Chain A
Amino acid sequence: MATLIKDVKLENVPTEVLFDKHKEFLQSYEKDENNYEYGMTDYLRISGMYWGLTALELMSINTKNQKVIDFIVKCQDPESGGISGCIDHDPHMLHTLSAVQILVTMDEVNAIDVEGVVKYVVSNQQEDGSFTGDKWGEVDTRFSFTAVATLALLNRLDAIDVKKAVEFVQSCMNFDGGFGSRPLSESHAGLIYCCLGFLSITNSLHIVEQDTLAWWLCERQLSSGGLNGRPEKLPDVCYSWWVLSSLSILGRIHWINHSAIQNYIKACQDVETGGFSDRPGNVTDPYHTLFGLAGLGLLGDERIIKVNPTFCMPQAVIDKLGLKPQILS
């Protein structure tokens, strides 16, 4: 019988956040044509750009770049209006949100056909209020979030049936206060972030069991300081973001031990190559680099640009749009 609590041991933790290394890492990632793995993530290209560019923005680097804008424009499907992960591929909700996030941050959203995007998101809403990720029909609460986040950034939340969308997300709430991908699916910190982000955007946070859920999220902190996504799973830097942003939305980020999680995130830096990985000693990538930095930002590191917990974008961008996603106190 497995009775050991799963966790990791931290050794030789860097005392600092290696900002210069991380900038270098992300900038070279962008240019390195020989990075085979990047080639293999062709189909994640737009989301990959969002991770890398947002991480740079959080380190005060202006990422506005005409080539990126032109690339996104080429990824928009003129027929459906959706945006794909790479040129010539099929559009998907995840990439559509990433593209809108990038363009909004660059203040270039009119480069794409905005009404096309709206039409695409609307076309993915189902009878029961849920959303599919693409036209082939996979339903998941992740897509409820991407739908309302995309529309809110475009100031077109009115285009969908918000009431039904809320009802679907509510139907995915579990007895432990958490949320899963579909009704009665296991609670999972990543999906909890999606559902709370959704409820924050639609101003519907009154449906959550605030303290029950915040307690479940606090329980994600392990002795190493790291956060996992479900009970008895290993800690992972990306959960620093999912859990910390969720707790921020619930107004309960102070419930966990800040210095312990900061220490864990720092331990996941690669002092040679730069970047953050999921766990200490693993290979770093832009995805974990964004969520490591954004997590540190939520914990109050003032060298990082203030990040909005609902959208995972610079707060200044959200303010400029006049958006006020709901946050509980």
Chain B
Amino acid sequence: MKMSDSSDEEQDVNYVLFKDRPDWKDIRPIEQDDDDEIVAIHYTDKFKDVHNYLRALLKKGEKSERALELTRVAASENPANYTVWQFRRDILKTLNKDLHEELDYIEKFILKQSKNYQVWHHRKLLVDWLKDPSKENYFTTLILNKDAKNYHAWQHRQWYMKTFQVFDGELDYVDSLLNDDVRNNSAWNQRYFVINNTTGFTEEVLKREIDYTLSKIKEVVENESAWNYLRGLLLHDKEGLSKNKTVTNFCEELYSSNSQSPFVLSLIVDMCCEQVQEGSGDSIYTLERALQLCSDLELKYDKIRANYWKHMADTIKRKASGENVEEEPTTS
């Protein structure tokens, strides 16, 4: 539903319609077959003109410099038109064009249209043809400077990093993003992505990442992304969620310093839940404590999700009584 910004040419009073260009006289434009009411669409003259000539060239299969120029105008009129982009790539290939120039062109385009699927796909195919990701860090950083959570940019970044195995410096980049905005979930996700694709979550890495995450949580406690990442890390801890002393001490300290953050409380609930189920509980991770916390969350600290906390309390009670719950989701 995102509309294109008005193209550069629209502001240009000197813009000449293709039907008025002498070097296009040999082409007979093809009008859209658009006669019934339901498909009647009001187009600008420019839009109609470009597409009439586009249809003609597609039909003719003409791959020339002027066809390339036509696709440029058509793409700026509607970047979501994937037929235009494919035609453009066919022309680039046939004319053996310098693809680095095309990278510069699409860079400017994406800077203006950074949430459009087709333009990113075009970029990806160019990098793939060139087998050269050397400009991509610079390029995606430009986009992420404007919007550090742009899903397309992250998807592209992950694609070339994995395809060409270029992860150097990425953890530092993620760190700089988290210094700007510690709640940037995309950056936390990228952290996981890099480690998963390089060192893996070895014991040493796990310790380093836990320390890193806790230091970030210390800065801002109300940060869903950091807590989620912490839980993600603990999935790699062979001991489980509740046995890592660094983490449990950290949470207990926050708790006793009167933090009522639902994130702290909910992690303690899950720690209790794990130990209650294992039946070999630490004295502080008990059923009673879990139930008290669930009730506090339900009634005071996270009222909007009250039903979730009621469910958690029930689940823990059932687990404590030895019932095997939540192993297999049931279909209603």
The chain A residues found within 8 Å of chain B, CB to CB, are: 1-3, 5, 30-31, 33-45, 65, 67-68, 70-71, 86-90, 92, 134, 136, 138, 174-176, 180-182, 184-188, 205-206, 208, 210-211, 214-216, 218-219, 221, 223, 230-233, 250-252, 254-257, 260, 285, 287, 326-329
Contacts and interface: CB of A to CB of B under 8 A. Distances in A.
Contacts of B182: 1-3
A185 to B, nearest CB: 6
A257 B83 contact: no
Given A88-B32, A186-B186, A232 B225 contact: yes
B162 to A, nearest CB: 8
Contacts of A3: 182-183, 220
B325 to A, nearest CB: 10
Nearest to A142: B117
B186 A87 contact: no
14 contacts: A40-B78, A43-B78, A71-B38, A138-B117, A211-B311, A231-B224, A232-B149, A232-B183, A232-B184, A232-B224, A255-B305, A256-B304, A257-B305, A328-B330
B154 A185 contact: yes
The 6 A-B pairs with the shortest beta carbon distances in the complex, nearest first, are A175-B232, A329-B332, A186-B189, A231-B185, A67-B38, A210-B329
A282 B1 CA distance: 13
Contacts of A175: 192, 228-229, 231-232, 235
B209 interface: no
B104 to A, nearest CB: 22
Contact of B37 (A34, A67, A138, A208): A67
A90 B86 contact: yes
Contact of A65 (B38, B43, B219): B38
Contacts of B224: 219, 231-232
A30 B38 contact: yes
B38 A68 contact: yes
Interface string B20-47: 0000000000001110111111111001
Contacts of A65: 38
B181 interface: yes
B95 to A, nearest CB: 19
A216 B229 CA distance: 12
Contacts of B331: 205, 326-329
B196 interface: yes
Contacts of A38: 41-42
A251 B180 CA distance: 38
B86 A136 contact: yes
A181 B37 contact: no
Contact of A184 (B4, B158, B222, B306): B158
Given A44-B1, A208-B329, A254-B307, A92 B183 contact: no
A109 to B, nearest CB: 19
Given A34-B42, A210-B329, A260-B304, A185 B192 contact: no
Contacts of B324: none
B326 to A, nearest CB: 6
Interface of B: 1, 3-4, 32-34, 36-44, 47, 55, 78, 80-83, 86, 117, 121, 125, 149, 151, 154-155, 158-159, 179-186, 189, 192-193, 196-197, 219-220, 222, 224-225, 228-229, 231-232, 235, 303-308, 311, 315, 326, 328-332
Given A1-B182, A328-B329, A215 B308 contact: yes
B40 A181 contact: no
Contacts of A187: 189
Nearest to A133: B117
B304 A257 contact: yes
A24 to B, nearest CB: 18
Contacts of B304: 221, 223, 256-257, 260
Nearest to A223: B304
Give the most central of A71, A180, A215, A219: most B CB within 10 Å: A219
A58 B217 CA distance: 45
Contacts of B308: 214-215, 218, 252, 255
A216 B220 CA distance: 19
Nearest to A176: B228
Contacts of B235: 175
A95 to B, nearest CB: 11
Contacts of B43: 39, 42
B36 A88 contact: no
A205 B183 contact: no
